[in-house]
Amino acid sequence: MTVRVGLLVRLALGAALAAFAGAGAGAATPGQDEMNVVDQPGYQPSPEEEQLTGAYEKQEVFFRTTEAPGTIIIDTKGRFLYLVQGNNRALRYGIGVGREGFTWSGLQKIARKQEWPDWRPPPEMIERQPYLPRFMAGGPGNPLGARAMYLGGTVYRIHGTNQPQTIGHAVSSGCFRLVNDDVIDLYDRVPVGTKVIIRQAVAL
């Protein structure tokens, strides 16, 4: 009866595409990893589920850029968020991104930060899952996870998730999601006003 992680439907779209150069083992290629995921409000993943491994685990990496330290660069194709450290280094986090048709690029700033954000499912989600509350107060199990950083005046956010299995996949409606430990770590490192660059691909 209940929709569970095991019921996630992976849409295998297209043949294997060339791996994203420099993205590292396990990095995604668009179209291959799109997931049709039903939100699971209230679901609280275990610590084991939240522990990422491989390329999507938070790590310091070589990263050549002219952007100033403290800048966030999001690579939607590679499913990575980079926090520039300087000296050709960056902290890299694995992320979930927008599904096909929901990806975007641009330049934004973090306009607001929120701990344990409330969740308001968008209308199309209510249509698909009419049993969902139209508002869920923030807290463990909330689909927006532990932290949210709002991008300019857009409807998009960098936020946590209670579905760690979606990291590395195209799953959202255009937001960028990290596992809760990572989004808390990032939240503590970046102030309001932080420059955020969203790119389809990042040349290292």
Partner 1 sequence: MIARRGGALALICLISGFVAGCGETPSPTPAIVAPAISSDQLVGKWGFAAYHKDEDRTRTIKEASAQCNRPYVIAKGPTGGVMMNLADQKELSELILKAGPNGQTYLGPAGAPGPDDRIVTNVDANSFTTVWVDPENASRYGTSVYVRCGKR
Residue 175 designated active-site: yes
Catalytic residue among 23, 91, 97, 175: 175
DSSP the chain: ----GGGPEE---SSPPPPPTTS-TT---TTTSBEE----TT----HHHH---GGGS-EEEE---SSPTT-EEEETTTTEEEEEEETTEEEEEE-BEEPTTS---EEEEEEEEEES--B---HHHHHH-TTS-S-B-SSTT-TT-SEEEEETTSS-EEE--S-GGGTTSEEESS-EE--HHHHHHHHHH--TT-EEEEES----
**133 touches partner 1 by CB under 8 A:** yes
Which stretch in 103-111, 134-142, 144-152, 166-174 sits in contact with partner 1 by CB under 8 A?
134-142
Nearest-CA neighbor of 149 among 189, 199, 102?
A: 189
Among 123, 153, 193, 203, binds partner 1 (CB under 8 A): 123
**CB-wise, 93 or 119, nearer to partner 1?**
119
**CB-wise, 26 or 141, nearer to partner 1?**
141
Which stretch in 47-55, 79-87, 132-140, 180-188 sits in contact with partner 1 by CB under 8 A?
132-140
Measure the CA–CA gap between 80 and 57, rounded to whole angstroms: 10
**134 touches partner 1 by CB under 8 A:** yes
155-180: burial string, b at 16+ Cβ within 10 Å, e else: ebbbbbbbbbbbbbbbbbebbbbbbb
Among 10, 112, 128, 189, binds partner 1 (CB under 8 A): 128
**6 touches partner 1 by CB under 8 A:** no
Residue 159 designated active-site: yes
**CB-wise, 31 or 138, nearer to partner 1?**
138
Shortest Å distance, C-beta 7 to partner 1: 10
Among 60, 100, 115, 118, binds partner 1 (CB under 8 A): 118
Catalytic residue among 79, 113, 147, 159: 159
Total of residues contacting partner 1 (CB under 8 A) = 24
- Residue numbers at the binding site for partner 1 (CB under 8 A): 1-3, 40-44, 118, 123, 126, 128-131, 133-141
* Catalytic positions: 159, 175
